Amino acid sequence: MVVRRKKKSRYMRGYRNQGYGSIGQHRKSGSRGGRGAAGFHKHMWSWIVKYYPDWFGKHGFRRPLSIVQEVREINVGELNELVKALKSEGKIRRVEGMYSIDLTAFGFNKLLGRGRISEKVKVRVYEASETAVAKVREAGGEVIILRETKEG
């Protein structure tokens, strides 16, 4: 059998340089090639090319805020709760067998299709997804789209 002796310790107790040569060689930013983004166009260029090729230059484009419209959406599944709340407050009435809701009055401008609807509802809104329109019609209601937007 081989005699197993303890490995020699690598702790450098009492040594001033801890294996880094002279004192200043493991101090401050000189050991890292400079502070922060120093040298990105010089000695760290190969690192930039490998890890952050898109670091420099312009990318993409931001549309002017005057064009961008904020989308405030509501899902079809939330219409049930809205109808229930408005019924209890007496702010909604039934016309021709269905409740009429103007979503623009509540600050919504788009109707989306997540969830289910059980009430017959006539909904007035600026935009609606195809699935939302299909679900409302399937429940016996209708969706009135007020205007088309210029987004595209």
User: What percentage of the chain exceeds 90 in pLDDT?
Assistant: 49
Q: For position 138, what pLDDT does the model report?
A: 93
- At residue 42, does pLDDT exceed 90? yes
Q: What is the pTM of this model?
A: 0.56
Kindly report the CATH number that applies to the domain delimited by 73-145. 3.100.10.10
Taking a C-beta distance cutoff of 8 angstroms, is the pair 112, 132 a contact? yes
Residue in the structure block whose two tokens are 């059998």:
1
Interval 26-43 mean pLDDT: 92
Between 115 and 8, the higher pLDDT residue: 115
